Amino acid sequence: MTKDTPLKTDVLVIGCGIAGASAALEAAKRGLHVTVITQATAPEESNTFYAQGGIVSLGPDDDPELLRADIIKTGDGISNPEAVDILVRESKPLVDSILIDELKVPFTRGDGSKLDFAQEGGHSRRRILHVRDTTGRTIEERFIEALRRQPNVVLMADHTAVDLLTVPHHSRDPIAYYHEPRCIGAYVLDNGARTVKRIFAAQTILATGGCGSIYLHTSNPRGTIGAGYAMAYGAGARIVNMEYIQFHPTTLFHRDADSFLISETVRGEGARLKTRDGRTFMQDYSERKDLAPRDVVTRAIYEEMINTNSDYVLLDLASYAKIDIRKRFPNIYRTCRRFGIDITREPIPVVPAAHYSCGGVLADGWGRTSLAGLYAVGEVSCTGLHGANRLASTSLLEGLVWGTRAGRDIAARFEGGVPFKASDIHEWYYPAREEAIDPALINQDWLTIRTTMWNYAGIVRTTKRLERALADLEYLLHRIEKFYREAAMDVKLVGLKHGIRVALMITHAALANPVSLGAHFRVD
Ligand code: SIN
């Protein structure tokens, strides 16, 4: 394999949903050279793109103290108070200045062109701004347009981060061992050419999103396999709270629908959950009924499915809505219609699916991690904001707030380029005889990971199930690592190597924590 030509940049952003895009935009506006990589072919493709519900701001009858209390209560009391303070303080000013004034996001307006605020579970007020039911897509498209207008931003689609570059680990210089460990960029795979280059950066920002796709059923796009957690772990950064995987209560139950999300704002507009024989049940589980926090609703559905020996429950909007359903939820209406369900007339079959990781790479109020030179923002990070369970529609907001703060912090503290010579850092190692990858092996390994996580480390966990998961996943890890060392570089293989690591991280964390809290529920 030929030598790579290393690239250099002030800031390398890995991932380009709302968190990565806001960090990139902020750093670029402050004069830094920013390189953004994304494994997707279209840079818009990200978890953000699929977010339907909206983004928390402050409603007309609202109060920051009420928002603070809702976040802490939903997080089951273990949210980081400093992170909650930052979010509560900065939410409205940043939504107004960046999303509304700068990016001109066309949030839905009601009577007299006043902003329309939606309701979701766990919120004591209507305070969620939305663009009908395609909020994430609209925000993401505006961010990508803004990044494309910045002359000092390079957007590299179809590029996948393989590993973080760290010294002393990747250094040829023995003296490097006497200095503090530091991230200096990443090894990055060009998906098409299948070659790995070194991108050196003074500061690297992980914004890779979550890991829903290591579960059999997920509301996330299939590429969301937790690459950022695996890379940060490999580089020695601290990772916390990985047991708190949030399951969204309602995704479409249909063989071909790939767990399409049915937004919680649907329940915010009055929809009620019912068993297949038409019995409402959330009143038996919470005084907030269908608008209880997600963990409560998810477990109630799980229980009802077991009790009624059913693969799904029903979400009935048609009987309760006081709004024009097609106008308010055009995307959900159209998608369900494609699968033969008319949501204006009949209930929607729904099941829970893995949705969001509340834990991740430990990050402070500016997104700095425990590893010098590395920031983490958005879902891949754990600021502690979400505690054991995330309050609905705070994820886009956390991405915006921490992305913007990280961009500002990096610019304010910037001291010049990468403090290492490219020649000191190892190029990517390719095996002498590269084996072609066999997709059947990769598919089978993924099936094992996904079914193991769903059945043994999912909504309800027991010691026995988790121990079985650990044994099966550890065995698989050996096989995958051997396979990885010998095979030709390929984006699918990189994903598998990251995915198995993340599955193990979650299983270890779940096994080590016997206390049920929020999204982590043990029954032994
Ligand atoms: C939804 O619309 O239900 C998802 C919003 C979120 O996850 O915060």
In the chain, CATH 3.50.50.60 covers 7-243+358-424
- If one looks up domain 251-352 in CATH, what number appears? 3.90.700.10
How far does residue 122's CA lie from ligand 1's centre (Å)? 12
How far does residue 171's CA lie from ligand 1's centre (Å)? 43
pTM for the full predicted model = 0.96
d(CA 65, CA 38): 37
- Assign domain 7-243+358-424 to its CATH architecture: 3-Layer(bba) Sandwich (3.50)
Domain 439-512 has CATH 3.40.50.720: no
Contact status, residue 275 vs residue 308, Cβ threshold 8 Å: yes
Q: Of all atoms in ligand 1, which is nearest to the CA of residue 394? A: 8
Task: Pick from 260, 261, 391 the residue to mutate for probing ligand 1's pocket: most ligand atoms within 8 Å of its CB.
Answer: 261
How far does residue 2's CA lie from ligand 1's centre (Å)? 46
Q: Taking CB atoms and a 6 Å cutoff, what residues make up the pocket around ligand 1?
A: 51-53, 263-265, 392-393, 395
pLDDT of residue 484: 84
Contact status, residue 237 vs residue 166, Cβ threshold 8 Å: no
Classify residue 493 as exposed, middle or buried by CB count within 10 Å of its CB (0-12, 13-18, 19+).
buried
Task: Pick from 130, 328, 385, 395 the residue to mutate for probing ligand 1's pocket: most ligand atoms within 8 Å of its CB.
Answer: 395
Provide CB contacts within 8 A for 114, sequence distance 6+. 60
Contact status, residue 165 vs residue 184, Cβ threshold 8 Å: yes
pLDDT of residue 3: 67
Provide CB contacts within 8 A for 439, sequence distance 6+. 492
In the chain, CATH 1.20.58.100 covers 439-512
Contact status, residue 17 vs residue 135, Cβ threshold 8 Å: no
Write the pLDDT tens digit of every residue in 258-315. Answer: 999 999 999 999 999 999 999 999 999 999 999 999 999 999 999 999 999 999 999 9
Backbone angles phi, psi at 347, to 5 degrees: -70, 160
Task: Pick from 46, 120, 128, 138 the residue to mutate for probing ligand 1's pocket: most ligand atoms within 8 Å of its CB.
Answer: 120
CA dihedral (146, 191, 353, 504) positive or negative: negative
How far does residue 295's CA lie from ligand 1's centre (Å)? 13
In tens digits, the chain (524 residues) has pLDDT values of: 556 889 999 999 999 999 999 999 999 999 999 999 999 999 999 999 999 989 999 999 999 999 999 999 999 999 999 999 999 999 999 999 999 999 999 999 988 899 999 999 999 999 999 999 999 999 999 999 999 999 999 999 999 999 999 999 999 888 888 989 999 999 999 999 999 999 999 999 999 999 999 999 999 998 999 999 999 999 999 999 999 999 999 999 999 999 999 999 999 999 999 999 999 999 999 999 999 999 999 999 999 999 999 999 999 999 999 999 999 999 999 999 999 999 999 999 999 999 999 999 999 999 999 999 999 999 999 999 999 999 999 999 999 999 999 999 999 999 988 877 888 899 998 887 778 888 999 999 999 999 999 999 999 999 999 999 999 999 999 999 988 888 889 999 999 999 999 999 999 999 999 999 999 999 98
pLDDT of residue 111: 83
Kind and range of the H or E element at 130?
A: none
Catalytic residue among 137, 142, 267, 294: 294
Q: Of all atoms in ligand 1, which is nearest to the CA of residue 391? A: 8
Classify residue 318 as exposed, middle or buried by CB count within 10 Å of its CB (0-12, 13-18, 19+).
middle
**Alpha carbon 336 to chain centroid, angstroms:** 24
Q: Of all atoms in ligand 1, which is nearest to the CA of residue 250? A: 3
Would residue 294 show up in a list of annotated catalytic residues for this protein? yes
Nearest CA to ligand 1 atom 8: 393
How far does residue 476's CA lie from ligand 1's centre (Å)? 33
Q: Which amino acid is at 61?
A: D
How far does residue 102's CA lie from ligand 1's centre (Å)? 24
pLDDT of residue 2: 57
For residue 370, the tally of other CB atoms under 10 A from its CB is 16
Of 374, 379, 371, 370, which Cα lies nearest the Cα of 402?
379
